[in-house]
Amino acid sequence: MAQVEMILPAMGEGVMEATVLEWLKEEGDSITLDESVVEVATDKVDTEVPATIEGVIKKILVQKDDVVQIGAPIAIVETEGADDADAEEAPKVETQPTNNTTATNEAVSENTSQEIVAKSGDRFYSPLVRSIANTEGISQDVLDSIPGTGKDGRVTKDDMMNFLKNGNTSSATVAPTRPATPTPAPVAKAVAPAVSMDNGDEVIEMDRVRKMIADRMVASKQIAPHVTSCVEADLTNVVVWRNQQKAAFKKKEGANLTFMPIIISAIAKAIKEFPMINVQVDGSKIVVKKDINIGMAVALPNGNLIVPVIRNADRLSLSGLAIAIQDLSVRARENKLKPEELSGGTYTVSNIGSFGNTIGTPIIMQPQVAIMAVGTIRKKPAVIETPQGDLIGIRQFAYFSHSYDHRVVDGALGGMFVRKVADILENWDVNLTV
């Protein structure tokens, strides 16, 4: 018999920690390989963690609401068929908070100052809290004085935000800065006005996902100067073709042929022609992404949005896109997506037409530089040019709104890209078979 540490596995690109929501097993329970043992929440998704080893759980190391770093041990499992020598040869995870969180902190940002330590006295500071302290120039002494509302008095992100919002940085001892690295002038932080309460007003606490969305949307507007270009596209050919194909497609593939796979197919083709839309910004560098991974906004039953990613969308057929879209949409609403299915996107599309909207100004999903909103398709009278002269006919139109990061996408590129998407759809081949 041997006792082996079960660690928290990688949870997707950019995820450094997770919060324990619920243990699905108890100490003394037997577990099999890939059996779900604990449910955790990251800043991307709630998910169940499968067992990476078989045996009996001897000790649970982290409890509900604990924040655990990726790669940290979460339980001790007693396994059979292994002697002590085998156990010693198994990869070990350093349990000292300082070493574990230092490595994580380095992954958060190459430029983050290391003056703030992971553990000071009896207090442990997460990589996120240390990153905020370093960015805002808060010294170790001042950080140690901030009241913590987390478990065992731990300082949380909300504690840091409240500290900064209340203007307490005036008493902070600014950490030494590197002389060779120029620092930008401080930007005044907006303070939300106080909300007055009247009789009968209802107060609803934001859930975790809504708080996450709020933080990301504000951050995106602060990071990227948004510009939006719009075009109106004649989708008559697309509508006619889909109406001809959808029944046979449903019978053949068992999936619905919606407009979304057609639109994503057009976006992927346009990206190949305008690859500088498929980029990300890294400081003063532009990273041109090789893969075309398109995220699609999905509305959840509670009203929140989630954005699963279709990887290598340009390599999928229309059938493949339709099946992938239906699968991801269903599992998104059932909270069954895997963390890796919510990361790695290089471009995003949002179908605001499903809510009856015509035009929108979507907010970019960082670190991407562009996002497209597709409005509802409406019948409108239009001028039709023919060899015999102009005629008035009924056509199917929709607006496409393209928001882009003006740091790296100029108006010409942003406008030409959305026009290209419209051109592809307007010239859709009605004889295409799927």
389-405 vs 17-23, strand pairing mode: unpaired
Per-position b or e across 262-271, b if 16+ CB within 10 A of its CB: bbbbbbbebb
- Residue 350 CA to residue 372 CA, distance in Å, equals 6
Residues linked to residue 50 through DSSP beta bridges, in sequence order: 36
**In the numeric block, which tokens belong to residue 2?**
């041997």
The dihedral sign for the CA sequence 242, 243, 245, 246: positive
Report DSSP state, residue 212.
Answer: H
AA identity, residue 173: T
DSSP letter at 194 equals P
Active-site annotation holder among 66, 226, 327, 406:
406
Side-chain-facing half-sphere of 231: CA atoms under 13 Å: 18
What's the CA gap between 45 and 332, in Å, rounded?
A: 10
φ, ψ dihedrals at 208, nearest 5°: -60, -40
Determine the Cα–Cα distance for residues 275 and 268; give it in Å rounded to an integer.
10
Between CA 407 and CA 196 the distance in angstroms is 38
Active site residue 406: yes
Q: What's the distance, CA 354 to chain centroid?
A: 21
Q: Is the separation of the CB atoms in 417 and 230 below 8 Å?
A: no
Strand ranges for 94-221 from DSSP E: 119-120, 123-124
Our answer to whether residue 34 is catalytic in this structure is: no
β-bridge mates for residue 350, sequence order: 373
- In the chain, % helix, strand, coil (3-state, to 5) comes to 35, 25, 40
- Secondary structure (3-state) at 373: strand
Query: Of 126, 177, 120, 118, which is closest to residue 145 (Cα–Cα)?
Result: 120
Angstrom distance (rounded) from CA 46 to CA 265: 29
Secondary structure (3-state) at 284: coil
- List active site positions: 406, 410
